Structure 1
Amino acid sequence: MASVRFRVTLPERLWIGKISREYEAAEFRVLSGIGGDERASALVETTGVPVDDLRESAERDSSIDSFRVVMHGDGKTVFRNEATSHETYDIFRETGTMPEYPVTIRNGSVDVSVTETRERVVELKQALERMGAAVEIVAVRTTGDSSGLLTERQAEIVDLAVEEGYYEVPRRCSITRLAELLDVSKSTVSGVLHRAESRLVHEYSAASSES
């Protein structure tokens, strides 16, 4: 089993991707979601979007069947939307995976974590890519394997990069800042991160070819 955090860049056609790009400073947190054969429903908390703009945008989008504001105040809106066709829920259902809530969306980019077998993680990644999403693996933790996927030094630098916001959208930390914190050169940090990311990608590629 592995706990994997993906960064998924949503296709332009998806409503949540469109409106989160229109309001770049906004944050959407999917608190829960239920997907069935005929309908999918999500409870979402957002900040940074006027409630009237949110409602009008949802009502204009043909993919949204129902939109209801549950709570609004102090700059925060909680809403529930339903759709008879929801590509992302269909993918999670068909691959037998479940995202760990809350799922955070900013500027068309989704941070989503799953804990699953390597084979199912690979299947999920490939299904999201077939949908038209760009998928990046930003963190991996394995269970039942003390050696893990990364060397101790790679894990140290990757953990610091995550902690400092290097993988956030937009990034809150640069390679230069990471190099200063580690007291090493920028080229060293860049090289270690590149090799770590390469190991993660090849690990899951190998798992995919074996399944």
Structure 2
Amino acid sequence: MPRARVRFKPPGPQRGGPFRLSSDYPDGEFRILSAHPTEDGLLVVLEATLADPAVVLDLFESAPQSRVPSYDALHADEQTVLLQFQLPFVPSPYRALFASGNLPQFPYTIEDGWIVCELTTSHDRLSQFRDELEETGFAFEVNWVIQSVDSTDLLTDRQRRFVAEAIERGYYDTPRQCSLTDLAAALDVSKSTASVVLHSAEETIVKEFFATAVE
């Protein structure tokens, strides 16, 4: 199933709170650690690390109660503040996630007004998530998509058995703990057979690794 890194941001009039702070303080780090729907809206935990974390507390202290009915400072020191706050509504991105059949995978980061997150999803669900968000006026971008493959599906049963035995006996260790002759004897095959099977498995693994890395 594909894994995607996406980012999205609300239309201009909605870019307040942490969105605005992430633009005003680009050297800071803003992370949404969790967000849980409640009967009253959405309960969010936000971590902010920046030179003057007091600006985060000031922002929430001055926020209209209609936007942020309550908040608690769970932790604060010279560089980091951890806040839990209640929103009186469920924001569009969260609704779009569930409407498209996706699940949130925290943490999310907020960078220069954009929420950045990774999703394990299908191409159809990713497209639906984009459509759901864009209908509400959000900008949406896909940074990358990686088609993940179950490693157990890459090799045949025989190749997997040979590689597992080689790893267990230290054939791939440095220095090598097991020679090809010893490995072949343990597998009850000829040295040439062991070499051919291992080489084929290694070729598959290496090609898959680099194919995924450059996507």
TM category (shorter chain) comes to 0.5 to 0.7
Aligned to 1:199: none
The equivalent residue for 1:105 is 110
1:130, distance to aligned residue in structure 2 (A): 2.1
Distance 1:45 1:112, change over 3 A: same
- In structure 2, relative to structure 1, the CA distance for the partners of 1:91 and 1:37 (3 Å cut) is farther
1:139 to 139, 144, 151: 144
Task: Kindly name which structure, 1 or 2, has the bigger radius of gyration based on alpha carbons.
Answer: 2
Structure 1 residue 90, shift from structure 2 partner: 2.4
Deviation track 1:164-190 (CA, whole Å, cap 9, x = no partner) reads: xxxxxxxxxxxxxxxxxxxxxxxxxxx
**What do you get for the CA RMSD once the two structures are aligned?**
2.6
Describe the superposition over 1:2-42 as per-residue Cα deviations: whole angstroms up to 9, x where unpaired: 21110223433142212221222211111111124531011
Per the alignment, residue 79 of structure 2 pairs with: 75
**CA distance, structure 2, for counterparts of residue 154 and residue 28 of structure 1:** 33
Residue 147 of structure 2 corresponds to residue 118 of structure 1: no
Unaligned 5+ residue runs, structure 1? 159-211
Superposed counterparts of 1:172-211, under 5 Å: none
1 CA distance for matches of 2:34 and 2:97?
A: 14
Q: What runs of 5+ residues in structure 2 fail to find an aligned partner?
A: 155-207
Q: What CA distance in whole angstroms lies between the structure 2 residues aligned with 1:144 and 1:156?
A: 12
Aligned residues: 154
Map Cα deviations across residues 120-147 of structure 1 (whole Å, 9 max, x no partner): 211111122223222111121224598x
Q: Residues of 1 paired with 2:79 and 2:25: CA distance?
A: 14
2:61 to 59, 73, 82: 59
Aligned in 2, Cα 1:142/1:156: closer, same or farther, shift over 3 Å?
Answer: closer
1:43 and 1:78 in contact (8 A); partners too: yes
Q: How far, CA to CA, are the matches of 1:11 and 1:26 in structure 2?
A: 22
Q: 1:39 to 1:45 in 2, by over 3 A?
A: same
User: 1:188 maps to which residue?
Assistant: none
